[in-house]
């Protein structure tokens, strides 16, 4: 199977500085790839998948934020795409997303980190048998980030937990007691953004829902 990604117009648009254009091109690329997958053998597709994943890695390794975003958006689309080596794809994308978060430290990269954490939540939701492993490793990673002196990493910690609580609540709630215990540094963080993110994480969890039910009132974040 011969597919030159660089010759596809959607590949160029994926690197646009216009987010809606990027989102649409990611969806169109997935549609194209799904059609091509049906037209080829398993062996040919596996060979192409290796090439495709390398291209995704090249995108997220770019110094240009818009190019990184294009790579994240494409991963987010490909997560739901059924493949023979789905577990390998899931593991690879988890590593890619963690790499993006770990390598981002500047305020100008907050959009990239936020988008990556949302993609992690989506990945955990569609990972099938690997969902438990994704949740376990992500929670562990989030508390490493929470101990960082860098504001963006502490924010990323809360964003990751919030996305897990939102996308895979049953699995997330298995860790709830530890999360509640360890999240307090964020609730009392010196940075207002981190404190707010911590509160929003609690609001997404069953802890807040059960608390509100017990007192008969849903408190709104001021």
Q: Domain spans of the chain?
A: 1-84, 106-222
Q: Coil, strand or helix: which one is 7?
A: helix
| All residues at 6 or more sequence positions from 188 whose CB lies less than 8 Å from its CB, including other chains | 195
pLDDT digits (tens, 9 = 90+) for 135-180: 999 999 999 999 999 999 999 999 999 999 999 999 999 998 888 8
pLDDT digits (tens, 9 = 90+) for 185-211: 899 999 999 999 998 988 887 665 654
How far is 55 from 70, CA to CA, in rounded Å? 11
pLDDT digits (tens, 9 = 90+) for 91-124: 999 999 999 999 999 999 999 999 999 999 999 9
| All residues at 6 or more sequence positions from 126 whose CB lies less than 8 Å from its CB, including other chains | 79, 80
Residue 144: both structure tokens together: 């490493």
Alpha helix segments (H runs only) across the chain: 9-13, 19-38, 42-60, 65-78, 86-103, 110-126, 131-146, 151-167, 169-173, 176-182, 184-187, 192-204, 206-215
How far is 47 from 37, CA to CA, in rounded Å? 11
DSSP conformational letter for 5? G
The rounded percent of the chain whose pLDDT value lies above 70 is: 89
């Amino acid at each position: 199977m011969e597919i030159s990604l660089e010759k596809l117009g959607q590949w160029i648009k994926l690197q646009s500085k216009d987010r809606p254009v990027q989102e649409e091109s990611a969806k169109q690329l997935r549609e194209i790839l799904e059609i091509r997958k049906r037209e080829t053998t398993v062996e040919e597709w596996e060979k192409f998948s290796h090439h495709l994943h390398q291209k995704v890695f090249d995108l997220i390794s770019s110094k240009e934020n818009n190019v990184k975003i294009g790579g994240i958006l494409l991963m987010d689309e490909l997560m739901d795409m059924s493949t023979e080596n789905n577990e390998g794809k899931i593991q690879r994308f988890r590593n890619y997303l963690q790499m993006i978060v770990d390598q981002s430290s500047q305020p100008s990269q907050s959009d990239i980190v936020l988008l990556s954490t949302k993609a992690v939540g989506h990945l955990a939701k569609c990972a099938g048998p690997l969902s438990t492993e994704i949740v376990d490793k992500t929670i562990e990673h989030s508390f490493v980030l929470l101990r960082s002196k860098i504001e963006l990493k502490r924010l990323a910690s809360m964003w990751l937990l919030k996305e897990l609580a939102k996308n895979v609540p049953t699995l997330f709630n298995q860790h709830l007691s530890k999360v509640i215990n360890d999240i307090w540094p964020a609730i009392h963080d010196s940075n207002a953004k981190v404190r707010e993110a911590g509160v929003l994480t609690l609001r997404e969890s069953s802890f807040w829902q059960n608390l509100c039910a017990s007192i008969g009132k849903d408190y709104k974040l001021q």
